[in-house]
């Protein structure tokens, strides 16, 4: 219990530092999906914010997010994803490997994700935190040491979701600015475009 509370506090502090940032720069605005980036003082990598207006319901979105075995079918450049352990009906530990263009090594990270739906008030909160020591590292794949993300979702009671997604991470190891920039804008936009299709 103490360990879980401690991890939650670390995560909340990290997410607060992302959400409190100023100077978000709009990188893409298309089909109801806006992608922003912001330089975080404590990291050499930019944080990402996505604001999206998508058709769908809270239950549909919750089902998609918890179905991590199919994450590779909609999250940009995901090579492999699977459940490591189901902690509760709305909390899981799962594995994710991201494909990167040669000669850059793929990245992976075990992620603990907890969803808190409030169907009475039409909201959904999701937090996800990398747990790099959860399983042994794999040869030839760089383990991500820092990964924090959050979803803040509001439902209009009909068929419209307003989503704010925040991501702060350090891909670890050596990685070119070209690859980094690709994942800053193209990755989030394509991910949410694919999500929109799955929610229909």
Q: Are 68 and 80 in contact (CB under 8 A)?
A: no
Instruction: Answer yes or no: are the C-beta atoms of 74 and 195 closer than 8 Å.
Output: yes
Tally of CB atoms within 10 A around 67: 14
Does the pLDDT value for residue 12 go beyond 90? no
Tens digits of per-residue pLDDT, 70-125? 999 999 999 999 999 999 999 999 999 999 888 889 999 999 999 999 999 999 99
The tens digit of pLDDT for each residue in 113-164 reads 999 999 999 999 999 999 999 999 999 999 999 999 999 999 998 999 999 9
Q: Residues 199, 150, 78, 175: what is their CA dihedral angle, to the nearest 10 degrees?
A: 150
Average pLDDT over every residue of 52-58: 97
* pLDDT value, residue 194: 97
Decide which of 40 and 8 is more confident. Answer: 40
What percent of the chain is predicted at pLDDT more than 90?
Answer: 69
Give the architecture (CATH level 2) of 2-199: 2-Layer Sandwich (3.30)
Do residues 170 and 45 make contact, with C-beta atoms less than 8 angstroms apart? yes
For residue 106, which phi and psi values (nearest 5 degrees)?
Answer: -60, 155
Cα(187)–Cα(46) distance, rounded to whole angstroms? 14
Q: Confidence class of residue 175 from pLDDT cuts 50, 70 and 90? A: confident
The pLDDT value recorded for residue 1 is 46
Average pLDDT, the chain: 87
**DSSP per-residue codes, 105-117:** PPEEEEEEEEEEE
């Amino acid at each position: 219990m103490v360990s879980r509370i401690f991890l939650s506090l670390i995560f909340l502090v990290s997410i607060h530092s992302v959400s409190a940032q100023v100077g978000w720069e709009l990188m893409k605005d298309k089909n109801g999906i806006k992608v922003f980036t912001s330089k975080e003082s404590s990291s050499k990598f930019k944080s990402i914010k996505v604001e999206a207006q998508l058709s769908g319901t809270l239950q549909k979105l919750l089902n998609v997010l918890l179905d991590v075995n199919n994450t590779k079918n909609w999250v940009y450049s995901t090579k492999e994803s699977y459940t490591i352990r189901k902690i509760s009906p709305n909390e899981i530990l799962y594995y994710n490997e991201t494909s990167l263009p040669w000669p850059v090594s793929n990245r992976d990270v075990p992620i603990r994700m907890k969803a808190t739906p409030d169907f009475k008030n039409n909201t959904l909160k999701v937090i996800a935190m990398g747990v790099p020591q959860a399983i042994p590292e794999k040869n030839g794949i760089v383990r991500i040491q820092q990964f924090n993300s959050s979803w803040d979702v509001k439902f209009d009671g009909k068929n419209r979701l307003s989503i704010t997604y925040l991501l702060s991470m350090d891909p670890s190891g050596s990685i070119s600015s070209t690859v980094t920039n690709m994942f800053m804008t193209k990755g989030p936009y394509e991910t949410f475009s694919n999500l929109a299709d799955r929610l229909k």
